[in-house]
Amino acid sequence: MAHITLGVTGSIAAYKAADIASGLVKLGHDVHCVCTQKALEFVTPLTLHTISRNPVISSFDDETQSWVPAHIAYAQQTDLLVVAPATANTMAQFVYGLAPDILSSLYLACEAPVLICPAMNEKMWMHSATQHNANILAQRPNHYIFGPDSTGVLACGDFGKGKLMPVDQIIARISEILEISSKNLP
């Protein structure tokens, strides 16, 4: 099956990354989790390591296992980079080519398709800067924006668009993208 890199950012929805990883492993995929430091405030590396069956990287300090930096090795091996949840901050870093952390550095080195699943407060999502960034990312080759979910109670108590798409729908979208990618291979 596919080598999937699951990027996890500092959203309250980060805990759902464990369910995403679990679902992908059950389908036979090789899942490697890359977390921002803020993501680790919501989900532990041990949880993701146990579920994915692979070590979790979250900082440049984790790159001591090989002479090839982990963010480069993961970028070279991945068939699909999934960022779920994706915060407004991470999306902006991707748009402007900023690489202050391991996930954004991996993104810049990655030539595989990228699935970005936003999750944030509705006002943040609807802000013109975030909409601009989402539109730019959606126009890049092999980039897919999936979500956020259109309705629901958000972690802050607001009601509206901003929730991470349901895990089963994310996994289905991943399968669709992998199928499209496999058809485009020579």
3-8: strand order across its sheet: 30-35, 3-8, 80-86, 114-118, 143-145
Active site (annotated) includes residue 156: yes
Q: Which helix (H) or strand (E) holds 181?
A: helix 167-183
Active-site residue (options: 33, 110, 117, 156): 156
Two structure tokens written together for 39: 């993501």
Cβ of 10: how many Cβ atoms within 10 Å?
19
Q: How far is CA 85 from CA 12, 27, 66, 82, 170, in A?
A: 9, 20, 28, 9, 10
What length is written for the chain?
A: 186
Q: Which residues are catalytic?
A: 156
